[in-house]
Amino acid sequence: MATTQSVKNQLQSKNNTSQQPTTVQTLKGLLSSPTLKKRFEEILDKRAPQFMTSIMNLYSSEKALQKCDPMSVISSAMVAATLDLPIDKNLGYAWIVPYGNQAQFQLGYKGYIQLALRTGQYRSINVIEVYDGQLESFNPLTEEIVINFENKQSDSIVGYAAHFELLNGFRKTIYWTRDQVEEHRKKFSKSDFGWKNDYDAMAKKTVLKSLLSKWGILSIEMQKAYINDEKEVNEVELIDDNVIDISTHQDIEEHSVELEEIREEDQ
């Protein structure tokens, strides 16, 4: 594995010869690297080929992702792989979201539920949309909520409710109005990509995430997922300790040089 200094030296050498770092490599070419294949196999074993195919399928179907640095897509997918969560956008467990020319891992609300259930500490956990006419009352102090599911007046969603109960009997419920969710989105969302594609899924994730982060039992796996879900775009990293971290945009360029070295080693 090349040292940071040797990577920088090679980057400088390439710049001196008017050659740009390899930022236009196709995702398919990167995934064909035996080194990357091995890393996915170490994480997913026999499921690695199917997961790597899902990366290619997602990339091929998303024009916005195709504008991202391919390695950032793989980095994001690696995070999902370490959490053993599928990246199929239709499943809602984990997403790979474009932020400019970089991709970033984002945990879906179903991913939060899945990781919570794996702890073996939850008797029940759920988050739902609340439609116009269904909410009768909610007391934020006592967390008493009354929802009449038979009294739906329209398809208009007025809020979102999340609830969990632990095996020891501890339980929590929160309710956010749609206005509260929208205020949170405007204040904290780094990209509208997920919100434009599935607003309700992002809203449910936001409410459930708030509930679990404040009151839930967070395993080490859940803490890692939460941290990666919170990362800024210039802090994308591969979980695998053998892979270079990406902490700055300069490092992203350096990483491209290292990937070229990997391919040369594999040939």
Q: State residue 211's pLDDT score.
A: 95
Question: Which of 88-97, 231-240, 249-258 is modeled with the greatest confidence?
Answer: 88-97
- What is d(CA 38, CA 60) in angstroms, rounded to the nearest whole number? 23
pLDDT in tens, 103-121: 999 999 999 999 999 999 9
Strands 144-147 and 102-107: unpaired
178 vs 192, more confident: 178
Q: What span, in angstroms and rounded, lies between the C-alpha atoms of 248 and 237? A: 10
Between 114 and 66, residue with greater pLDDT: 114
Q: For tokens 């035996």, name the residue.
A: 34
**pLDDT at 180 > cutoff 50:** yes
Residue 182 near residue 158 (C-beta atoms within 8 A): no
In this structure, what token pair is assigned to residue 209? 């995430």
Q: DSSP readout, 113-146?
A: HHHHHHTT-EEEEEEEEEETTTEEEEETTTTEEE
Three-class SS state of 210: helix
The pLDDT tens digits of the residues spanning 130-166 come to 999 999 999 999 999 999 999 999 999 999 999 999 9
Question: What does the pLDDT look like over 15-42, one tens digit per residue?
Answer: 454 444 333 357 888 888 888 899 999 9
Residue 137 has phi, psi (to 5 degrees) of -165, 155
**CA dist., res. 202 & res. 187, Å (int):** 14
Distance CA 102, CA 90 (A): 21
Contact call for residues 161 and 181 (beta carbons, < 8 A): no
**How far apart, in Å, are the Cα atoms of 132 and each of 148, 152, 157, 194?**
10, 6, 6, 24
